[in-house]
Chains A and B, each alone.
Chain A
Amino acid sequence: MEDRTLLNRQLAQMLKGGVIMDVTTPEQARIAEAAGACAVMALERIPADIRAAGGVSRMSDPKMIRGIQEAVTIPVMAKCRIGHFVEAQILEAIEIDYIDESEVLSPADDVYHIDKRQFKVPFVCGAKDLGEALRRINEGATMIRTKGEPGTGDVIQAVRHMRKMQSEIHRLTSMREDELYEAAKQLQVPFDLVQYVHDNGKLPVVNFAAGGVATPADAALMMQLGAEGVFVGSGIFKSGDPVKRAQAIVKAVTNYQNPKIIAELSEDLGEAMVGINEQEIALLMAERGK
């Protein structure tokens, strides 16, 4: 493996057990950092507002992203559209720490994802199942997250994706060696990645939960289901008391197996984001890019 790919996978390892928060201003970024976020995702509009506004959603203004890079010392991530390698080139030019090739923005290409191996800067990509995750890793992604429906405050899809991925991983680990070739064919991924999962019982990169996480309990749920950390988008700055909620979610991820601590953290958090149920969504972002 190339040095750069390994270093990029290793940065994701440093983010484990942490919370990555969506922020739209330097002020929000500072709040997130002080609350204990291990990284921030800089974007002009959080997913709930993207959903409400409709229309084509693109990479954020580089100047706005730079403002956030200057405001905090933790890693700063930003989103580009699926397949839009020039947006990715721009983000690399401003030395972003991680690019999210994200279904939250409008896809720029309905066939090809970005050839992420051509970049020095690392990429995180969404995946609903093991096949998607391994295809993205094959393209050069060095971190994976679930594709839970963003901007809804409904965790059901993130749960579905994490459970599916974990059960497919378990299935691979229990297979005989000679069955792996057929598994690779079915998953539409290279054999060596299937063999890695079979031998190690996990993805070759860090796997986070994302989409619909709104409470400390949601975050702990995703961790208990096998996530190695959590992205929180609209859940924090669309809630009644962002500072308190951000701190509570950070601590819930650390102590995800301790219900007593999570109970204390869940007290007096004010209003959670209102949320939309899965059945009420007109646009399924998770269906973008497979």
Chain B
Amino acid sequence: MTIAILALQGAFAEHAQMLEALHVDSVLIRNLEDWDNYIQQNPQHQGLIIPGGESTAMTRIIRDEGLYEPIRQAILKGMPVLGTCAGLIMLDPQHLNTMDITVRRNAYGRQLGSFNHVADIKSIGKDFPLTFIRAPYIEAVGPGVEVLAEVDGHIVAAHQGNQLVCAFHPELTSDTRVHEFFLSLVK
């Protein structure tokens, strides 16, 4: 199994390190050619991670590089995807429009509002160290979306079929359980 990591901008290297710790190969996707090669060379067990970073920067590049439609179609056809922070935003109706969630960007304000927290994630486990950096949260979810975690009444992790999103950054901690859960969707 090889996982594709969208590497247009942001903390993609951290996800690659996380997968390496789990002995899973990954490939960085920077342009359409990288994506086409990934799809060709991995006809089965495909999976995509969209990392943290700036969603406006990723949006600009994903469109200009011609990656928008191919990635959107792959997710709609069932490719498992994990979106963290900006990656969560990328799946909402205003961006790739694959997940039925309403997202509030920079929901905790500027950098002074960034924080750590500990919470359980439904279906995955207990006592996760959660790192929120200029994070969004989910204001509302559609009928097909399962809420996995809340902090102070706001949704910070959710699951819809092949799509898993979190407003925090599991890739910045040493806790591999979120990535393991995502990999279980790929298998």
Contacts and interface: CB of A to CB of B under 8 A. Distances in A.
B26 interface: no
B134 A11 contact: yes
A219 B134 CA distance: 26
Contacts of A13: 11, 14, 52, 172
A135 interface: no
B56 A97 contact: no
A73 B56 contact: yes
A33 B59 CA distance: 11
Interface string A113-130: 000000011100000000
B36 interface: no
Nearest to A69: B110
B5 to A, nearest CB: 12
A18 B110 contact: no
Interface residues of A, number: 40
A10 B64 contact: no
Interface string A234-267: 0000000000000100110111001001000000
Contacts of A37: 54, 57
A7 B115 contact: yes
A226 to B, nearest CB: 13
Nearest to A120: B112
A96 to B, nearest CB: 8
A216 B127 CA distance: 45
Interface string B49-86: 00011101101110011000000000000000000011
Given A120-B112, A255-B31, A38 B54 contact: yes
A97 B137 CA distance: 19
Contacts of B31: 254-255, 258, 261
Given A14-B85, A255-B31, A35 B131 contact: no
Contacts of A97: 110-111, 134
A39 interface: yes
A36 B56 contact: yes
B52 A14 contact: yes
A17 B53 CA distance: 9
Contacts of A98: 111
> How big is the B interface, by class?
35 or more
B133 interface: yes
Contacts of B131: 7, 10
Contacts of A247: 60, 64
Nearest to A33: B56
Interface centre among B7, B13, B65, B111 (most CB of A within 10 A): B111
Contact of A254 (B9, B106, B112, B115): B9
Contacts of B14: 13
A37 B55 CA distance: 10
Contact of B10 (A18, A120, A121, A122): A18
A290 interface: no
Interface in A1-52: 3, 7-8, 10-11, 13-19, 33-39
B105 interface: yes
Contacts of A255: 30-31
A73 B61 contact: no
B8 interface: yes
A8 B114 CA distance: 9
B12 interface: yes
A168 interface: no
B76 to A, nearest CB: 25
A97 B134 CA distance: 9
B116 interface: yes
Nearest to B110: A95
A107 B8 CA distance: 36
The 5 A-B residue pairs with the shortest CB-CB distance in the complex, in nearest-first order: A36-B60, A97-B111, A38-B54, A36-B57, A17-B9
Interface of A: 3, 7-8, 10-11, 13-19, 33-39, 69, 73-76, 92, 95-98, 120-122, 247, 250-251, 253-255, 258, 261
20 contacts: A7-B114, A7-B115, A7-B131, A13-B14, A13-B172, A14-B53, A14-B85, A15-B10, A16-B13, A17-B53, A36-B56, A37-B57, A38-B54, A38-B57, A73-B56, A92-B112, A121-B111, A250-B9, A254-B8, A258-B30
